[in-house]
Structure 1
Amino acid sequence: MKTRLACCLLAAAVTAASAAPAQDLSRYSDEGLRAELAGIADAETAVLVPMRDGKGLSTNIWRPKGASGKLPVVLWKTPYDEHVPAGGTARYALEAVRRGYAFIVQNERGRYFSQGTYEILGRPQTDGYDTLSWIAAQPWSNGKVGTLGCSSSAEWQLALAGMNHPAHAAMVPMAAGAGIGKVGRFLEQGNFYTGGVPRTLFGVWLYGVDNPLRAELPQDLNGPMRARVARYNSLDADKPDVDWKTHVRRLPYAELLSSLGEPPGTFESLIARGPADPAWKTGGLYHDDMGWGVPALWFNSWYDVSIGPNMALYNHARTVASDREASANQYVVVGPNPHCQFARLSEDYKVGERAMGDARFPVDQQLWAFFDRWLKGKPAAFPDGTAHVRYFTMGANRWQSDAEWPPKAARTLRMYLRSGGRANSMFGDGRLAADAPPAGEAKDSYRYDPRNPVQTIGGGDCCNGGLVTAGAFDQRQISARNDVLVYDSEPLQAPMEVSGFVDAVLKVSSSARDTDFAVKLVDVAPDGTAWIVGDTIQRARYRDSYTAPAPMQPGQVYTIRPTPITTSIQFGKGHRIRVEVTSSNFPKFARNLNTGGPNETESTPVVADNAIHHDADNASYIELPVVGG
């Protein structure tokens, strides 16, 4: 009954969305989009919107040509060069104006034509708040603003939502994980860390975005002249190309950018912090003690960089009591795609190398229906009966819906890591079993050498200069390594859906004072293809506390609880569930050099002999949220 009801709810939502006017803009060139927009919109370019400290943020405004009444407004805020609209920004601007909205694109502080000094996430609690106040006060505004964007254009929305600005009527954040500091079990400080391990994507991304010595227009340049200059000067820095696959191996890691000759900037400031440094609370990140005040339609994806924090924040926003109407109107859509690739979902979709079948979803229709409800006062556009959670189950290759996440019907299945002491590689004797281990079962040992780390192949990632391609890829060349422990279930006698948060509990020991433990969930097909489903990692020094890291004592057994893997996957009949454990996942995560010292400023690694224990007193296991069966 649950499945049939979920299908009906999803179908009803899709039907309602399809009733909105559809405009296929996918085949338009950027020039064509701009020409269409110029034909139907009155535009203002490079307007300096004043902030409370006197700085101005450069803002482009498009309104339906000749509009006389007050308009709902959609705001797109960005650190990128989007003054001349192109791609998705141009399509959204054109669609917004066609639907009777004003559409605004604003550059973050310190970027391109905006004044001030750049700060990652762009001061959402001050600059974002002041921008909303300015929009609400304009004679053409109806006082209701919806915020929209993917990745950087979504992340700043989160801390702003905690402010509950009276004009912030709705938000559609897509792939917004880098805006989350701490939520529930996840303390990632904007994806800078996972389990206390730095993610390399941030160094690469900041190389392209952070320009401490940037070129600027004269501060006193008048509005018309700024607008004219903006037409033929992008102020876009063209930095030298970097071979990141080679350069990321350079040590110490803290010199990733300075070793290229870059001036000190944001990366150096952030890498000097620990995961629990109080300085993380002073920037633009959202933390779960900030409240929540805005109805939201979230778009997330299974192979994104931070699907776990994203889903945890969605759950948090539904339960915060600071604004009950906002909490009651949180909705999420989760696709099988990597970061920000919602527009690519198709009837013959592949994520990485794995076919997902028909993964189409009416993304644009739904977001405009959501805005129509909250910015235009049309409740029928996005009905109350819309399912709060709509998610794509991989393997089964179908969309489902539920009232909550994890799905209400999910039950926990614990499966133990077992072996005869030789789980090394997929050719070993590791197994994943429902029966707990007996006393005296032998541990599994492996040697981790930071100079020969286990390679990242697929999984969730983004924005990394080509270091990692996100998605589902075959892991067999990784599973064949002797420094990877592999635990397989028996072939399943019937399909098994796993939807929710997958937790791992490991009993570990090491010869080193500190090391990492990386966990991977894999779907092994009958032909042996081993599709990565998701992964996680934990730095041992932070096993009990991020505020009080503690070294390991050689040979002593400790408990490691990495943050969960978050997914919806159907393991098919005849498939095996595989768990892999090792101590590196590089280049996605920076290597632990095993010294126990200030890892990011060190250059000389040591080899660690690590072990996973699984006996009656020290059982290691995973817990799967199983639906049905």
Structure 2
Amino acid sequence: MPDGISLLANHYVPVGQEKPLPVVLIRVPYGRSGLYAQMFAAPLARRGFQVFMQATRGTFGSGGQFRPFTTEREDGLATLAWLREQPWCDGRIAMTGGSYFGHTQWAVAPYADPPLVCVSPHITSSEVTGTLFYNHGAPQIHTGLTWSSSIGRQERSGLPDPRLRGRVHAALQRLPLQAVDVAVAGAPVPFWRDFVAHSEPGDEFWSEANHNDADFSRMPPVSMVTGWWDLFLAGTMTDYTALRAAGVPARIVVGPWLHGEPGELRMVAKTDLAWLDHHLRGGPPPEDAAPVRVFLQQANRWLALGEWPPAATRAQPFHLRGDGGLTAEPEASAAPGTFTYDPVDPTPTVGGPLLQPPGKQADNAVVEQRADVLVFTGPALTADLDLVGQVKAQIYVRTELPHADVFVRLCDVDPKGVSRNIVDGIRRLDPRTVPGDDVTEVADGVLAVDVELFPTAYRVGAGHRVRVQVSGGAFPRYARNMGTAEPFGTATQGRTNRFEVFHDADHPSRVVLPVFPAAGGSDVGKPVSQSSS
């Protein structure tokens, strides 16, 4: 590397090959050998690709300190330059990988000169702070601590720890959070310390980690795989739309998967083989003509789309009512709904997009029975309602304290009354960022808060009902809002916060659903099981 640090890699070369070949570069912090090599490098090598699997800085023998996301651009570009100087490289380089080693591609591809031949940044995103670490201002502490424990222990003990889930949950109950990494990893983890120390608005520490402001027109062809329950999903879909707008050939597959589920990884392997064969060896183009393939959940079928979001959708609002209902039009007048958020007993969350199971859908009864959650339910549907695209909400709210979170969740209520989450979103209110692009002050302290929920492809069946939850948090997925300006890592004292949620003609709080024409005809693939790839 330019600073003299050496990074180690495993080099796979086809037996008997004497001529220079293109290189498939994989940069990974989880070890260049063992399980990850068997999952990602070996399958490509067995099919005749030359693979260079590199351990990122500070991991598994590579020099320096592992400070995640902050050194991958410089190290990645230096690696490209080194590879092109090797006699066994013909100058053509592609990259692939998922999650963190998907992000290492975003750190390189927009800046590479000469450009890469193609990339496959799966289950990841070009930007990691605003949508992942601090989702619209709210720190994702469950993901942050789970991953910190994993990378903190990986070189001391490569075996899975069955007690990890319980340790993470117990540690997140503590205050302050600044040093709870020791409780789960056995030692301080630099990433966790960076995560808690650099969460304030305007902190430039993570500038090297975000590449969503790069010139996407310089990107090579892109293939991506992700899942509807993957925590990177929102960023991935934003990246795909931006790539197509920049004129980049791009493809994406979105299945019914949590982060790293077997079905998701099988789809990664399948699409990678076809993608690399086409771009590096002149093989046939991918079989699917449509650039976007998404699994329509609860309908058990794939949709083949020409774009994302699909132009065929229409925006259908569901307005919150004072009687707890949902209607197409707002109520003329109604008293606001109220609740009090208490950081000592924070509103819990169940299911959703998490780094590790349990996640996905869950029975929301334990949450909806709480006094700090407002619930609004529509009538039973007379026909299937297919939602394909971005779900949005606008909530008119007044809070007793200026520091607060607005959490909105969309649910599917079956005929037996079981409420299961579909998508959700959060917006942290902070005087330093309010008002802003997505928060407008209306009058008398009332704020119109735009909440971006996850995108989805989901069928709410006939006889089911749509439900919306509004609350002041979702712990421990997100850090509890203490109601003060103290950074979340050092805060120990919280204050209760009274919320008023308005839903009348002057304050039409609502969710807006992307309704897709009934799935059928030529745009629909054959039915498959949700666990298949």
Q: Tell me the matched-pair count.
A: 512
Counterpart code for 2:17: A
Q: 1:207 aligned to 149, 157, 164, which one?
A: 149
**Equivalence map 1:7-22=2 (5 Å):** none
Distance 1:434 1:553, change over 3 A: closer
**Equivalence map 1:116-195=2 (5 Å):** 116-121=64-69, 123-166=71-114, 168-177=116-125, 179-181=126-128, 187-188=130-131, 191-195=132-136
CA positional deviation for 1:91: 3.9
**In structure 1, how many angstroms separate the alpha carbons of the residues matched to 2:499 and 2:341?**
7
Distance 1:237 1:474, change over 3 A: closer
Matched, 1:365 2:265: no
Name the structure 2 match of 1:249: 173
**In structure 1, how many angstroms separate the alpha carbons of the residues matched to 2:105 and 2:62?**
18
CA positional deviation for 1:176: 0.6
Distance 1:376 1:496, change over 3 A: same
**In structure 1, how many angstroms separate the alpha carbons of the residues matched to 2:111 and 2:82?**
16
**In structure 1, how many angstroms separate the alpha carbons of the residues matched to 2:293 and 2:318?**
27
Q: 1:475 aligned to 359, 364, 367, which one?
A: 364
**In structure 1, how many angstroms separate the alpha carbons of the residues matched to 2:410 and 2:398?**
21
Counterpart code for 2:269: D
Q: 1:269 aligned to 190, 194, 219, which one?
A: 194
CA positional deviation for 1:257: 2.7
Name the structure 1 match of 2:44: 96
Matched, 1:389 2:282: no
Name the structure 2 match of 1:26: none
What SS does structure 1 have at the residue aligned with 2:195?
helix
For each residue in 1:54-97, what CA deviation from the matched residue of structure 2 results, as whole angstroms up to 9, or x when unmatched? 211110111111212222322221111332x32x5314333212
What SS does structure 1 have at the residue aligned with 2:42?
helix
Report if aligned partners of 2:440, 2:447 keep a CA contact under 8 Å in 1.
Answer: no
Matched, 1:74 2:24: yes
**Equivalence map 1:506-517=2 (5 Å):** 506-517=395-406
**In structure 1, how many angstroms separate the alpha carbons of the residues matched to 2:488 and 2:191?**
19
**In structure 2, how many angstroms separate the alpha carbons of the residues matched to 1:202 and 1:288?**
24
**In structure 1, how many angstroms separate the alpha carbons of the residues matched to 2:285 and 2:52?**
23
**In structure 2, how many angstroms separate the alpha carbons of the residues matched to 1:411 and 1:448?**
35
Report if aligned partners of 2:10, 2:32 keep a CA contact under 8 Å in 1.
Answer: no
For each residue in 1:468-501, what CA deviation from the matched residue of structure 2 results, as whole angstroms up to 9, or x when unmatched? 6111111122112222111111111111111111
Identity of aligned residues (%): 28
Q: 1:578 aligned to 461, 467, 471, which one?
A: 467
**In structure 2, how many angstroms separate the alpha carbons of the residues matched to 1:529 and 1:94?**
44
Report if aligned partners of 2:127, 2:235 keep a CA contact under 8 Å in 1.
Answer: yes
What SS does structure 1 have at the residue aligned with 2:103?
helix
Name the structure 2 match of 1:198: 139
**Equivalence map 1:391-430=2 (5 Å):** 391-420=294-323, 430=324
CA positional deviation for 1:616: 1.2
**In structure 2, how many angstroms separate the alpha carbons of the residues matched to 1:264 and 1:68?**
44
Distance 1:124 1:165, change over 3 A: farther
CA positional deviation for 1:253: 2.6
**Equivalence map 1:252-401=2 (5 Å):** 252-257=176-181, 262-263=187-188, 265-274=190-199, 276-280=201-205, 282-291=207-216, 292-320=218-246, 324=247, 327=248, 329-343=249-263, 363-378=268-283, 380-382=284-286, 386-401=289-304
What SS does structure 2 have at the residue aligned with 1:370?
helix
For each residue in 1:157-196, what CA deviation from the matched residue of structure 2 results, as whole angstroms up to 9, or x when unmatched? 112122134252111122113x5147xxxx33xx111120
Counterpart code for 1:279: E
Report if aligned partners of 2:255, 2:264 keep a CA contact under 8 Å in 1.
Answer: no
CA positional deviation for 1:282: 3.7
**In structure 2, how many angstroms separate the alpha carbons of the residues matched to 1:492 and 1:76?**
48
CA positional deviation for 1:377: 2.7
Counterpart code for 2:327: A
**In structure 1, how many angstroms separate the alpha carbons of the residues matched to 2:253 and 2:350?**
26
Counterpart code for 2:67: E
CA positional deviation for 1:259: 7.0
Matched, 1:448 2:337: no
**In structure 2, how many angstroms separate the alpha carbons of the residues matched to 1:554 and 1:447?**
21
CA positional deviation for 1:276: 4.0
Name the structure 2 match of 1:433: 327
Report if aligned partners of 2:179, 2:188 keep a CA contact under 8 Å in 1.
Answer: no
Unaligned runs of 5+ in 2: 519-533
**In structure 2, how many angstroms separate the alpha carbons of the residues matched to 1:521 and 1:484?**
13
What SS does structure 1 have at the residue aligned with 2:451?
coil
Distance 1:124 1:66, change over 3 A: same
Report if aligned partners of 2:70, 2:206 keep a CA contact under 8 Å in 1.
Answer: no
What SS does structure 1 have at the residue aligned with 2:307?
coil
Counterpart code for 1:79: P
**In structure 2, how many angstroms separate the alpha carbons of the residues matched to 1:131 and 1:587?**
39
**In structure 1, how many angstroms separate the alpha carbons of the residues matched to 2:436 and 2:314?**
33
Please say which structure displays the higher CA radius of gyration: 1
**In structure 2, how many angstroms separate the alpha carbons of the residues matched to 1:331 and 1:543?**
38
Between 1:57-66 and 1:558-567, the stretch displaced more is: 558-567
Counterpart code for 1:193: Y
Distance 1:417 1:263, change over 3 A: same
**In structure 1, how many angstroms separate the alpha carbons of the residues matched to 2:226 and 2:377?**
29
What SS does structure 2 have at the residue aligned with 1:64?
coil
Report if aligned partners of 1:72, 1:102 keep a CA contact under 8 Å in 2.
Answer: yes
CA positional deviation for 1:342: 4.7
**In structure 2, how many angstroms separate the alpha carbons of the residues matched to 1:542 and 1:404?**
38
Report if aligned partners of 2:392, 2:452 keep a CA contact under 8 Å in 1.
Answer: yes
CA positional deviation for 1:561: 1.2
CA positional deviation for 1:264: 7.2
Name the structure 2 match of 1:616: 505
Unaligned runs of 5+ in 1: 1-50, 215-233, 346-360, 421-429
What SS does structure 2 have at the residue aligned with 1:168?
coil
Report if aligned partners of 2:201, 2:432 keep a CA contact under 8 Å in 1.
Answer: no
Q: TM-score under structure 2 normalisation?
A: 0.89
For each residue in 1:571-603, what CA deviation from the matched residue of structure 2 results, as whole angstroms up to 9, or x when unmatched? 111111111111121110000011344444221
Between 1:551-560 and 1:88-97, the stretch displaced more is: 551-560
Distance 1:528 1:595, change over 3 A: same
